[in-house]
Amino acid sequence: MQRTSNPPSRSSAGAAPESSTTKTVTLSRASQDRVGTFWDMLAFRVIFTAACTVAGYHFRPFSISRETGALAGFVFAIFVIFFEVRLQRASLRRLIGAAIGSILGILGAYLTSLIFTHTTMPESTRSFFSLSIFLVMVYVGLVLGANKGDMLNLQAFGGVFGSERNTKHSFKLLDTSVIIDGRVADIADALFLDGTVIIPQFVLHELQLVADSADPLKRQRGRRGLEVLQRIQKMPHLDVQIAEDDFVQIADVDLKLIELAKRYDAKIVTNDFNLNKVATLQGIEIMNVNQLANALKPVVLPGEAMRVFILREGKEYNQGVAYLDDGTMVVVDNARRMINKTVDISVTSVHQTTAGKMIFGRYDDRGEPPPQRSSASTDATVGERPPRPLYPEPGRS
């Protein structure tokens, strides 16, 4: 299903727009309360940048002018903030590996520089080689330690390190279709969905446009989606956040979801078949609600017996159709005359289709007693004379 973020026609009458807008504002305010640490970090970074700029202006490193010192302090603060942002995305294993690699690199560079002190080379040359080896050893140790850090067994250290969770793929992006579907709330309530649930702002905007649609059916679906979001938001084991990221150059909502999943290294929760295929081709992990529902359906093998309620007749001759509690269709042979009855059947085959699973069975009607005629009609026919013909037979007077 291809969806674009172009706004459809909005309804000008009724209270539907006010209701959906109120719900959207409630979700946005709650998300701002949850993501309050962002503003704290922004304030800290602004203070740090201002402190570095003032320090460069006051101390004037390398005897430069005050304006150049302030500019150098500002550039240094930006570099440190960029490095800190990159470090936040690294796991604890990589950080520990990088630290261990750097320490080993410094130790190796120091031992190597001791060898140069016993040589007769000039002081300037010896200093150049010592500094070069120091930079190379630290760089190699840092890179190799970070790359091999995932191999560390942090549980052996116990305590804080042993309780670390792997935060990779802990973010889940909700699609508009799965929000309107509503089953994702039941899945989350059953603790099959945890971690951080991200609701993109463009998905929330599209959901609001559906809730404000002039079509009553679309408006009802949009309102149900907003109610599902409010239900998910109240679950204590989930961290619901509203992502303000948007891709203005991309008009399709599905492509925006894929780009946002790449940015956050997140999974996409959806039941859209087309989005599932496109995202899988681009290496994005998908949590498909329909696949989960099919996986939870009962496993039936040929030859097993089961009891079903024949609801209607099938397309073929003498067939009946029944449905299981999960919606699986059961096609039963020799069951056309057993409509609106519960019968025992024998499973003959099971077919898996793109729409779900279909079960074929057979009803054995040989055990049913043959229909008997009523005794009243039988007594009425025994001993009666055959009716006389309406017209006289020829040759008889």
More reliable by pLDDT, 4 or 153: 153
Q: What is the mean pLDDT of residues 356-378?
A: 64
Together in a domain, 47 and 67: yes
Which domain does 247 fall in, by range?
166-289
Per-residue pLDDT, 321: 92
Q: Tens of pLDDT along 212-228?
A: 888 888 899 999 999 99
- With pLDDT > 90 as the criterion, what percentage of the chain qualifies? 8
Could you tell me the two tokens for 340? 């609106």
Q: Does residue 60 form part of some domain? A: yes
Q: Is 344 helix (H, G, I), strand (E, B) or coil?
A: strand
In the chain, beta strands by DSSP E:
171-174, 195-200, 238-243, 267-270, 286-288, 305-313, 319-323, 329-333, 342-353, 356-362
| CATH number for 337 | 2.40.50.140
The reply to whether 52 falls in a domain is yes
- CA 232 to mean position of chain CA atoms: 13
Residue 188: inside a domain = yes
pLDDT in tens, 139-161: 888 888 887 776 665 544 544 44
pLDDT band for position 107 (cuts 50, 70, 90): very high
pTM given for the model = 0.47
- Cα-Cα-Cα-Cα torsion 248, 254, 255, 261, nearest 10 degrees, comes to 100
Pair (85, 153) in one structural domain: yes
Q: Are 13 and 262 contacting, i.e. CB atoms less than 8 angstroms apart? A: no
Give CA–CA dist 205/220, Å, rounded: 16
Could you give the CA distance from residue 70 to residue 77 in angstroms, rounded to a whole number? 11
The DSSP secondary-structure symbol of 4 reads B
State how far Cα 385 lies from the chain centre.
82
Domain assignment present for residue 34? The answer is no
pLDDT tens column, 280-306: 888 888 888 888 887 777 778 888 888
pLDDT computed for residue 3 by the predictor: 52
Condensed to tens digits (0 to 9), the pLDDT of residues 159-193 reads 444 444 444 447 888 888 889 988 888 888 888 88
Number of domains composing the chain: 3
Residues 266, 172 share a domain = yes
Does some domain include residue 22?
A: no
Give pLDDT, residue 95: 83
Contact between 130 and 116 (Cβ < 8 Å):
yes
Report how far Cα 21 is from the mean position of its chain's Cα atoms: 25
Question: Is 67 a domain residue?
Answer: yes
In this structure, the answer to whether residues 82 and 148 fall within a common structural domain is yes
**CATH number, domain at 206?**
3.40.50.1010
Is the Cβ–Cβ distance between 194 and 235 less than 8 Å? no
